[in-house]
Amino acid sequence: MSDLPIVPLAAWAIITGLDLASILQGLLNRPLVAGAVAGGILGDPQSGLVVGAALELFALDVLPVGSSRYPDYGAATVAAVVYAVGSGQPWAMALGPAVLLGLVLGQLGGLAIVVHRRVNARALARWAEALDRGDPGVAARLHLIGLGSDASRCAVLAAAGLGASLLLLRFLRVDAATGEALTIVALAGGFVALVGGAMRRAGTPRRMIWVGGGMALGLLSLWLR
Amino acid sequence: MVARLRAVLRLLSLQASYTYERLQGVGMAVAQAPLLAPLATQDPARAREARGRSGQYFNAHPFLAGIAVGAQSRAELDGQPGDRILRLRTALSGPLGALGDQLFWAGVVPALMGLALMASALGQGIPVLFGLLLGYNLVRVYVTDWGVRLGLRNGLNVATDLSHSLLRPAAGAAGAVAGLIIGAAIPWVAWWLLGGAGRSGQLVLMIVAVAIVVGVLTRQRPLSAPGVTLGAAALTLVWRWTT
């Protein structure tokens, strides 16, 4: 991993973090997208897609509504892909530890959002009177502080994520049986999140029929393949 | 036209200055500034008041906030009373939030991700994923621009036009479509990820069945899937190290 393309990976991790809430919200933060691109940067988009898909199962349980706290899977997915590709193990073994790393980093990313919003709040408290008076340029200044604060948050997360994956690649030794067991645990957790999220989003029993119908269609098409 | 496009561009970063006190208020002020610019030369005192109002509390779905930006700006340019403009802002906040959350966060996004997961299981993940990404972002920018135009056209009467738009029926249908697609994706993704990890068909079925039972049982009181997974992984490590 000495030839790891750190700069493009860090840049991509920062972009995905900014996309979560601050700029565009154009799906770049989704684990499936973040993982595929990170895999592409590492020359293995397929592995990136597999890691991204596993983390996407968890992300589909999240509704980023209002001011609720939600995980940030952008930089977390990039770090998980770096671990999975860098380990050189078959993905049945590497996927579990990679997804678990992504889950921990995703939660840390969520906590970092709270810190970023507090930074915004402190700036707002300082300029609130001028903003309410309608002084020109105040809102733009506060907005730039917010953008800078979130970019810093994303940079810290990118550094922490890439640092953590490199440390694990250097020091973590997982035998085949443990790796495979962790992969099963991570995927089982992902399916609990996916199914639970789909049912909660459906809400009413009538709406749940759509989920059940989809599942029946999926099973039928899989059987007929 | 240029002012509208500048407002749309600024709306793409609406939530950068999000706070728990005013939520999207500051972002709204930044997005509204180009549309309010003519007031600065016509009536500087009114422009200052308008800027003050534009930074107040606001929260809606970020993709639909343009409707409020356009409507409030039109009302300011038309010289409507300040208290009516603030009432409009408050009145739009809830419905635009609920509608957008239903349409995008609970509908379009899970549906697209479900499609991308299924395509990945079929070995077509990369091209389908990037096609969906492009389409989604075009729609995202279009919806923002449409919202600003709708608001600018209607001002204080925007709610009437909004109620006749396709947003409400689309939001209702999007949830059902997302449920159908996610439901269909579950067996395919299980077959791809668990089967690809060398698991037998029986184990794959058992894991999905357990996930469905847990999903049903915890529907009212959701559990933290990442927390449970990390806990189970810790137990797995202890078991592996002690045997």
* Sign of the Cα pseudo-torsion (A12, B226, B182, B198, in order): positive
- Does the beta-carbon distance from B219 to A199 stay under 8 Å? yes
Does A133 reside within a domain? Answer: yes
DSSP-derived 3-state class of residue A85: helix
> pLDDT of chain A along its 225 residues, tens only?
568 999 999 999 999 999 999 999 999 999 999 999 999 999 999 999 999 999 999 999 998 876 788 999 999 999 999 999 999 999 899 999 999 999 999 999 999 999 999 999 999 999 999 999 999 999 999 999 999 999 999 999 999 999 999 999 999 989 999 999 999 999 999 999 999 999 988 888 888 999 999 999 999 999 998
Residues of A in contact with B187 (CB under 8 A): 215, 218-219, 222
Does A1 reside within a domain? Answer: no
- Does the beta-carbon distance from B191 to A222 stay under 8 Å? yes
Considering only CB atoms, A215 lies closest to which of B125, B187, B203, namely B187
Instruction: Write out the H or E segment, with its range, that includes residue B111.
Output: helix B109-121
- Identify which of A220, A22, A26 has the alpha carbon closest to the alpha carbon of residue A109: A22
Contacts of A201 (CB under 8 A, 6+ apart): A63, B106, B110, B175, B178, B179
Task: Please report how the helices B167-189 and A176-202 are oriented relative to each other, as an axis angle in degrees rounded to 10.
Answer: 150
| A52/B132 Cα distance (integer angstroms) | 16
Contacts of A66 (CB under 8 A, 6+ apart): B23, B59, B97
Does A219 reside within a domain? Answer: yes
- Identify which of A57, A83, A70 has the alpha carbon closest to the alpha carbon of residue A17: A70
| B33/B31 Cα distance (integer angstroms) | 6
Residue carrying structure tokens 């409707």: B67
Considering only CB atoms, A214 lies closest to which of B47, B132, B179, namely B179
Whole-model pTM: value is: 0.97
Show which of residues 122-161 on chain B sit within 8 Å of chain A, judged by CB atoms.
125-126, 129, 132-133, 136-137, 140
Does A63 reside within a domain? Answer: yes
- Does the beta-carbon distance from A201 to B19 stay under 8 Å? no
Considering only CB atoms, B212 lies closest to which of A103, A133, A195, namely A195
Domains held by chain A: number: 1
Show which of residues 64-103 on chain B sit within 8 Å of chain A, judged by CB atoms.
97, 101
Runs of H (alpha helix) within chain A: 6-21, 31-41, 45-59, 74-87, 91-133, 138-171, 176-202, 205-224
| B139/B137 Cα distance (integer angstroms) | 5
- Identify which of A211, A216, A30 has the alpha carbon closest to the alpha carbon of residue B219: A211
The letter for the amino acid at A102 is G
Show the domain range for A38.
6-224
How sure is the predictor about B35, in pLDDT bands with cuts at 50, 70 and 90?
Answer: very high
Answer yes or no: is the ipTM higher than 0.85: yes
Q: Per residue in B124-176, pLDDT tens?
A: 999 999 999 999 999 999 999 999 999 999 999 999 999 899 999 999 899 99
- Does the beta-carbon distance from B21 to A132 stay under 8 Å? no
